[in-house]
Structure 1
Amino acid sequence: MVTAPEFSLLLPVYAGDDPSFLRLAFESTVDKQTLRPTEAVIVQDGPVPEALAAELARIERESPVPVRIVRLPQNGGLTTALNAGLDACAYPVVARMDADDVSAPGRFAAQWELMSQGFDLVGTGMVEFETDPDKVSAARIPPTGQDRIREHARTHNPFNHPTMMYRVAALDAVGRYQPFGKMEDYWLGVRIIASGARVENITEPLVKYRVGAGAFARRGGWQEAKTEWALQREMLRIGFITRGEYLRNVVVKGVYRLMPASLKRVLFRRFVGSGLPGDKAAPSQ
């Protein structure tokens, strides 16, 4: 007897999210999916404006699948929100989504096909857009295969976080999300790989990722550099990278983080997110 797919959608929301973006994100990830999640868990990370609260109420009322809204009394950040959401999810497999991105209709069907084969984490490629989801720019195509993913993770995040589908048990085994600046997803992925869990990526860009103004400036600065260096120390501590790889990464990534945003954009497009679907695959950041 074949078991029907059952999984939870986990979607965090905070005061800065746009209600119209949230509506588009939810519709693309639930209403228009060829394989819908069994439930949707939305984490409201602290108080939100009236318009956003109204949109959440509409979603809860009109959604074609059951919706559970977890309301946190104050904004605790993405790590806190995601862990609270995982506690609320009723199913052992969870799919991630951000409140301003757009999923392709076949996203979950493609990911579930691999999850049903025993994988513990499955990501996908994604394309970037600024205002119009139909006008995409760079593609972030991740590495595939356990060995290539592990090797890639020594220098770059091998998964596009908003595209992840994973088993809660795999996250429980490594301590779930842990605070790490804006790199909590990279640190999670490294720990999951190091644990021996089965991981895979789908190169097809099944998520459209909204890139706002100032995105490249936010990837830089002393704080980001210090977070990067701290992450490299932890990767060295658990034996995921060698001392030589650690020293190389500290220098190369530190220089990148401290570059002007204009130059960072050029290098990112050239080496990390380059081209459109159908172009030569480029690694994710």
Structure 2
Amino acid sequence: METVPEFSLLLPVYAGDDPSFLRLAFSSSVNDQTLRPSEVVIVQDGPVPAPLAEELARIEAESPVPVRVVRLAANGGLTVALNAGLEAVSYPVVARMDADDVSAPERFSKQWALLSRGYDLVGTGMVEFESDPDSPSAQRIPPVGAERIREHARTHNPFNHPTMMYRVAALDKVGRYQPFGKMEDYWLGIRLIDAGARVENIAEPLVKYRVGAGAFARRGGWQEAKTEWALQREMLRMGFVTQGQYLRNVVIKGVYRLMPASLKRVLFRRFVGSGLPGDQQ
């Protein structure tokens, strides 16, 4: 007898989220899925404005699957919110979703097909959009295969965080999410790979990722550069990169973090997110 797929959808929300974006994110990841999650755990990361609170109440009342809202008294950031959500989920497999992105209808069925074969983490490709989900500006195709993923991880995050679907037990072995600036997902991926977790990516873009104005500016600055250097030190300490790779990464990534946003956008599109036909860089 075939086992019925059971997994939780983990969706963090905070005061800055748009209720209409949340409605679309939820609908695409629950109502429109060919394989629906067994439950949805929404983490409200601190107080939210009335319109967003009303949207959360509407979702709870109208969802076709059980919804649990975990309300945190204060905004603690993404790491705190995701760990709180992991404490609340009922199933051993969890799918990630952001409150302003859009999932393709077959996303979870395709990821589950790999997880059911014993993988611990499965990510997917994604396309970026600014306002219209049907008008993508670029795509991010991740590396596929264990060796390519490990090699890629030495220089770039090999997983698109909003697309992740993983086993909670695998995260438990490495300490779940840990604070690391805005790179808590990259740090998680490195620790999972280093611990021997079975990881894979689906190259097909199964998530539409919303990028707002100023996205590339937020990827830079001294704080981001210092976080990048700290991550490289940890990778060197654990033997994930060699001394030569460490020095190369510190220089290249430091320069990237400190360069103007306009130039950063071009380089990101060139080396991380490939442009789509007609993309103006």
| Residue 221 (1) aligns with residue 221 (2) | yes
Structure 1 vs Structure 2: percent identity of aligned residues?
84
2 CA distance for matches of 1:81 and 1:4? 28
> Which ranges of structure 1 fall in alignment gaps of 5 or more residues?
278-285
Kindly indicate whether residue 134 of structure 2 is the aligned counterpart of residue 131 of structure 1.
Answer: no
Letter in 1 for 2:183: M
* Partner residue, 2:111: 111
Amino acid at match of 1:169: A
- Could you tell me which amino acid in structure 2 is paired with residue 226 of structure 1? K
What does residue 95 of structure 2 align with?
95
- Give how far 1:17 is off: 0.2
- RMSD across aligned positions (CA): 0.7
Corresponding letter in the other structure for 1:178: Q
Aligned structure 1 segments of 4 or more residues deviating by more than 4 angstroms: none
How far apart, in 2, do the equivalents of 1:275 and 1:113 lie?
29
1:12 and 2:12 correspond: yes
* Residue of structure 1 equivalent to 2:23: 23
- TM-score under structure 1 length normalisation: 0.97
Aligned to 2:137, what secondary structure does the other structure show?
Answer: strand
Asked whether the 8 Å contact 1:127–1:276 carries over to 2, the reply is no
| Corresponding position: 1:252 with 2:252 | yes
Q: Is the CA contact 1:120–1:198 (under 8 Å) kept in the aligned structure 2?
A: yes
Residue equivalent to 2:235: 235
For 1:165 and 1:202, locate their aligned partners in 2 and report how far apart those are by CA, in whole Å: 11
Per-residue displacement from partner, 1:183-237 (whole Å, max 9, x unpaired)? 0000000000000010000000000000000000000000000000000001111
- Secondary structure of 2:185's counterpart equals helix
Counterpart residue number, 2:271: 271
1:66-215 alignment runs, 5 A limit: 66-215=66-215
CA distance in 2, matches of 1:13, 1:189: 22
User: Following TM superposition, by how much is the alpha carbon of 1:270 offset from its aligned partner in structure 2, in angstroms?
Assistant: 1.2
Indicate the SS of the match to 1:206.
Answer: strand
SS at match of 2:42: strand
Deviation at 1:150, TM superposition (A): 0.3
Supply the distance in 1 between the matched residues of 2:148 and 2:157 (Cα, whole angstroms).
12
Does structure 2 conserve the Cα–Cα contact (< 8 Å) formed by 1:124 and 1:206? yes
Distance 1:88 1:243 in 2: 40
**Offset, 1:77:** 0.2
Q: CA offset at residue 275 of structure 1?
A: 2.5
Structure 2 unaligned spans of 5+: none
1:280 corresponds in structure 2 to none
